[in-house]
Structure 1
Amino acid sequence: MPDRPETRDPFEGYMIDVKTDNGTMVWRALERAIWLVFALCMFVLFVWPVFMLAIGSFRTSPPGAAGDWTLDGLRNLVTNPGIAAGAYDTLFLSCFLTVFVTLLAVFFSWVVARTNTPLRWLVTPMMVVVLATPQLFFGLSWAMLGNENAGLINYTIRTVTGTSWSPFNVESWFGIIFVLTLKVTAFGYLLMIGPFGSMDRTLEEASRTSGASAVSTFFRVTIPVLTPAVAGVAILIFTNGLESFDIPLLLGVPAGIGVFATQIFDAVNKTLPPNYAAAGTLSLLLTFTVMALVLIRARIMAGRSYAVISGKGHKTEPADIGGWRFVASGLILLYALLAVVLPLVQMLVGSLQPVFGLYRGFTLDNYLTVLDDSQIVRSLINTAIVAVVGGFLAMTLAVFIGYVGRHSGRTVRHALEFTTWLPWTLPGVVLGLAMLWAYISLPGLKLLYSTIWILMIGLVVAVIPVVSRVSDAALAQIGAELEESSRVAGGGRISTLFRIVLPLIAPSFIAGWTVAGIMISGNLAIPVMLSSATSQTVPVQAYDLYIAGEVSQTSAIFCIQLGAIMVVLIAVGLIRALAGLNARRKAAADLAPMLTDSPTGGRND
């Protein structure tokens, strides 16, 4: 990578210097003021909520109200038998999820990167679709698919067998682990495919040459070499299980299964009066556990060198696995059926049913009912606003943070990285509770309570860890010489950012904006903690409809949202295609005079 300019002052050079000494001092003071404002915003957005969550765990009052100090939350954590049961359920879920997801992620990564399986090209785009699908949509679709009485799976079994046999009940331990495994496998695969794809195949060929079978080589060479990467991803999968909220809420609570995240939700929303101290203490326990696991992963990955690519004879061509490639293709199709096709079919069929479970007399009445409901229409509008505006703000903030870190010293850069990663260690429901404590306690931001704007702030903070990776990757592709040329020509860093950097990373900015918008539009945990009756988003409205028994209307509102997302994705694709075409035309126009002036007159003789 090219060397990056290092400066002690993160904002040094952001302003145009004035030649006089007094002018220079004024601008320097202004630069310092801007830096202080930026640092204050970072603290308020990312650090202050965690701090206030810790304070709230030892208060008797709700957020923003006067109260006394108490240890009731800690005492409840130790003495309440329900907490112990929740801890057991959370660990049970996380352990099984880690095992199954790791196995599937390793399998799919190996199939795509190391074999000649015919359908391996389908896996990566399919995993991207599954990862981008909101967990609430995934959970609701499978809650309908696996419903013991009216689900499409049991209905099909009863129709085929001619009996009343309904073997599949998704509201169970099996259902929760099964559905979460389908969902989280995409996350594990996208983290593992890189190490599997870059591993030198000569290591495996040496094993095969010595007489080992393909299966023996996989277990004795491939897995041991990639153990650090697999272990690191397994830890992240375990933390994903600890943080799970939407699917356990939909499938676990009806079966009497409560994990930490749903217990925090119940302490605030289903207890009178709300037990904020207990919720805060439980949130801190969960947060510290996740942080510890993330640090353990960092320790594992940084402790040794795990190079699998050599400079001599490096090969990554896929291996021929014979007839097993057709078995692997069948498993790919099975996963596509379970994770993509069936949920979409069930959601579409459910939206057309006059009553959920009645597989005849399909109608569009549910769509008409949804669009005629002013509260649902308001939730659609709210979702569009927070997705579009919030996604833009999140990507803009991520680019600015990345740009400042790129031109700062190591200490500031690491501080920014830690700060932007901090929300990732907070489960969604915990982050929502932390936002509640943080912003109601500040006089200015307290006015935003129960409005769409505090909801947007929380959602922007939640997606920053993801979009920051997009912005960092885009900024890393900008050569330092381009920015240096701009500065030599008299431009400050702000000018360089807007005139050089942003135009060059525009495609990545649009992609990050789209990703952030999709994530925001499907988030349930934060809106369910921060929204009011007038600021609800589609996920909250859909959850309320589902709990009220209006399953078909829930399907309709989600189908409308998915249709809007598809329109946005198509529009983004067209914009990027037109931008690429325009760039190629411009490049051809710039090249034409050079070809005309060449000795051959632009012809190849």
Structure 2
Amino acid sequence: MQILGNDGDPSGLTTRLPVGMIAGSRSLRSIIIQIPNIVRWTLAVLLFALLVSPMLPIAYQAFSDKPLYESNSSLTLANFRTLFDDPRFHAASIATFWFALIATAISTFVGFLAALILERLDIPFRRTLKILFLSPIFVSALILAFAWSMLFGPSGYATIFLRAILGVSLPNLNSIGGMGLLAGVTAAPVSYLFFSSAIANIPPTLESAARAAGAAPFSALMTIVLPLLRPSLLYCVLLNFVMAIDHLAVPLIFGEPARIEVLSTYLYERGVATQADYGLVSAAALVMLAMIQIVILAQKSLLGDVRRYTTVGGRSVRRGLVPLGRTGWIISAAFLTYTLLTTGIPSAFLILRSFCSFMSPLIPIHSVLTLENFKLILGYDAYVQSIVNTLIVATVGGFVAMLLTFALAIVAYRSSTRLRRFVEFTAFIPRAIPGIVVGIGIFYAAVLLPGGGYIRGTLAILMIAFTIRYFPTGFAVLTPAYLQLGEDLERAVRVAGGGELRSIWAVTLPLLRSAMVGCFLLYFVQFFKEYAAASFLFGPDTAVIGTTMLQLDLMGNLGPVAALSVITLVLTLPIAIFIYAKD
């Protein structure tokens, strides 16, 4: 064996090492250097496995002739034949299309109009009106549906009052059109967020040039602003359509009494039934997912090259607000009326209803005031446990989801381009998976995968499902703040002898503390509101507020439903206000 001294000295007077040992040390060094990349790829693959985990068991069950927990199953198309032969599925599919179409049109129009008013016009109380308009984002759609039902439903307080006192009848909300209207109002704040930033970034010089050429204000809006908003419009339509397909609260509260079924309630009714047909439910879930994927592909095809819509360059000018004078007061009054009718008055009525044993315009309110609704909720162990469970899931689950989001942000934006693209693609996969499908998929995964029995029937499975459901939102919130951090400070720590973990602890965490708090609070609110995915996963000891409200409504206990809704508002609205004020 050849022996060499230091610097290749053949004399051997210096320290001698075998050639094989030198080669081995170099291999070990290269492996150590690659450990961070190995860890990053491992985390990325685990994220991919987590986020696609709901879909694999659903696909397997859809093509299986037996439930997942039974052996000796074989592949079949019988589930799809049964589904497509079911007249209720045909009716639910048609109703879903019209419901989603109406909801998308209303939410997109209202969101665009609100963005024009709040971002372009100098109206009184603009900031207050913005808070009121965005409040449905932080209020559960289930709570709003209950409030609208108790106030504007066929037997609602306002409906009876207007019919008895004034002889006026409200539009029937227990219809496809009424349901689409309410779902559109719920999603309108999300549409506003899409349009507001895009409108704010359109340089005023473009419209000024059109006006100088003789175009009227409306003509400049149609020929300049709307074409430049095409990306936001398409993304908004896509998101609203997906949200409408996934929407469960309004169809469940308003559609069920009128025997109107959409795909979400079709899945809900068959998934939670005592004798659930798992194959049929899985086949319907796949069809629902395929519909959403078709919408996504259409959006990508219509959008094309996004560079055509670039308006912010190196010499862009921020626009000012358009002064309106007295007209601004009229617009503010109209906008305030809309927010009061859709959110303010229903929420106030829900609070009042929680303190009443019964409400009718023919009975004085002071004669029915009571605290019995709250005593029932706080005096029954199962209801108190649902509140505690929700707090645990929202707090612990939100914190773990925030840490996972932080870790994956580092993996994405401190790695190679290929890994970054993989993580970005993976992070937004759940955006196209309805919450009700996530719940079904996680339920099947817990049955199919080894060790799933340990988390089935526990709060952990709810945390996993909610994390999958809202990971795209958390990732989208945290990554912009992370991208603003340069790598120079982290490199400085490494030059001083610190490792990667040391640079993350000493530099990245302190600088991202504010963004991480915002990310956690957003997860907290979303986890607190979630009920669709939980409908398939909760057990006797793991019910959450949303599932408890559905059970109370099923029993006709509207007073306790209102009381539980008020408790939810008390626990979440301060956090929501803090998030907005912080932003």
Q: Same fold (TM over 0.5)?
A: yes
Displacement of 1:224 in angstroms is 2.8
Summarize the alignment of residues 102-117 of structure 1 with structure 2, pairs less than 5 Å apart: 102-117=108-123
1:89 aligns with 2:98: no
Distance 1:516 1:182, change over 3 A: same
Summarize the alignment of residues 274-289 of structure 1 with structure 2, pairs less than 5 Å apart: 274-289=276-291
The amino acid that maps onto 1:296 is A
2:62 alignment counterpart: 57
The amino acid that maps onto 2:186 is K
- Write the deviation string for residues 502-557 of structure 1: whole angstroms up to 9, x where unpaired: 11111111111111011111111111011111100000001100111001101101
1:368 alignment counterpart: 375
| Rounded Cα–Cα distance in structure 1 between residues aligned with 2:347 and 2:246 | 25
Displacement of 1:254 in angstroms is 1.6
Displacement of 1:265 in angstroms is 1.3
1:293 aligns with 2:298: no
1:509 alignment counterpart: 516
Distance 1:313 1:567, change over 3 A: closer
The amino acid that maps onto 2:425 is F
Q: Among 98, 102, 114, which residue is 2:104 paired with? A: 98
1:412 alignment counterpart: 419
| Rounded Cα–Cα distance in structure 2 between residues aligned with 1:171 and 1:523 | 24
Is the 8 Å Cα contact of residues 356 and 551 (structure 1) preserved in structure 2? no
1:425 aligns with 2:432: yes
1:263 aligns with 2:266: yes
Is the 8 Å Cα contact of residues 152 and 346 (structure 1) preserved in structure 2? no
Deviates more, 1:311-320 or 1:19-28: 19-28
1:75 alignment counterpart: 81
Is the 8 Å Cα contact of residues 147 and 171 (structure 1) preserved in structure 2? yes
| Rounded Cα–Cα distance in structure 2 between residues aligned with 1:389 and 1:287 | 30
Q: Among 121, 139, 155, which residue is 2:127 paired with? A: 121
Is the 8 Å Cα contact of residues 272 and 535 (structure 2) preserved in structure 1? no
1:233 aligns with 2:245: no
The amino acid that maps onto 2:540 is A
Displacement of 1:159 in angstroms is 6.0
Displacement of 1:203 in angstroms is 2.1
* Secondary structure at 2:203 match in 1: coil
Q: Which one has a bigger Cα radius of gyration?
A: 2
Is the 8 Å Cα contact of residues 144 and 347 (structure 2) preserved in structure 1? no
- TM-score, normalised via structure 2 length: 0.89
Is the 8 Å Cα contact of residues 117 and 325 (structure 1) preserved in structure 2? yes
Distance 1:309 1:32, change over 3 A: closer
1:455 alignment counterpart: 462
1:140 alignment counterpart: 146
Give RMSD over aligned pairs.
2.5
The amino acid that maps onto 1:290 is I
Is the 8 Å Cα contact of residues 69 and 448 (structure 2) preserved in structure 1? yes
1:202 alignment counterpart: 205
| Rounded Cα–Cα distance in structure 2 between residues aligned with 1:158 and 1:293 | 42
Is the 8 Å Cα contact of residues 229 and 301 (structure 1) preserved in structure 2? no
Is the 8 Å Cα contact of residues 107 and 187 (structure 2) preserved in structure 1? yes
Summarize the alignment of residues 475-494 of structure 1 with structure 2, pairs less than 5 Å apart: 475-494=482-501
The amino acid that maps onto 1:184 is A
Is the 8 Å Cα contact of residues 348 and 556 (structure 1) preserved in structure 2? yes
1:549 alignment counterpart: 556
Deviates more, 1:181-190 or 1:125-134: 125-134
Displacement of 1:289 in angstroms is 2.2
Is the 8 Å Cα contact of residues 59 and 70 (structure 1) preserved in structure 2? yes
| Rounded Cα–Cα distance in structure 1 between residues aligned with 2:406 and 2:83 | 40
Displacement of 1:255 in angstroms is 1.3
| Rounded Cα–Cα distance in structure 2 between residues aligned with 1:101 and 1:566 | 23
- Write the deviation string for residues 273-307 of structure 1: whole angstroms up to 9, x where unpaired: 31111111111122122123224334444524212
* Secondary structure at 1:528 match in 2: helix
Is the 8 Å Cα contact of residues 147 and 168 (structure 1) preserved in structure 2? no
Distance 1:563 1:464, change over 3 A: same
- Unpaired runs of 5+ residues, structure 1, are 1-18, 578-605
Distance 1:172 1:452, change over 3 A: same
- TM-score, normalised via structure 1 length: 0.86
| Rounded Cα–Cα distance in structure 1 between residues aligned with 2:430 and 2:326 | 46
Is the 8 Å Cα contact of residues 154 and 168 (structure 1) preserved in structure 2? no
Displacement of 1:356 in angstroms is 4.8
The amino acid that maps onto 1:71 is L
* Secondary structure at 1:126 match in 2: helix
1:175 aligns with 2:182: no
Is the 8 Å Cα contact of residues 50 and 434 (structure 1) preserved in structure 2? yes
* Secondary structure at 2:215 match in 1: coil
Is the 8 Å Cα contact of residues 148 and 168 (structure 1) preserved in structure 2? no
| Rounded Cα–Cα distance in structure 2 between residues aligned with 1:493 and 1:295 | 39
| Rounded Cα–Cα distance in structure 2 between residues aligned with 1:535 and 1:49 | 20
| Rounded Cα–Cα distance in structure 1 between residues aligned with 2:370 and 2:442 | 42
The amino acid that maps onto 1:224 is P
- Unpaired runs of 5+ residues, structure 2, are 1-23
Displacement of 1:108 in angstroms is 1.1
1:191 aligns with 2:197: no
Q: Among 270, 275, 278, which residue is 1:273 paired with? A: 275
Is the 8 Å Cα contact of residues 139 and 569 (structure 2) preserved in structure 1? no
* Secondary structure at 1:505 match in 2: helix
* Secondary structure at 1:148 match in 2: coil
Summarize the alignment of residues 536-575 of structure 1 with structure 2, pairs less than 5 Å apart: 536-566=543-573, 568=575
Q: Among 319, 329, 334, which residue is 2:332 paired with? A: 329
Summarize the alignment of residues 359-398 of structure 1 with structure 2, pairs less than 5 Å apart: 359=365, 360-398=367-405
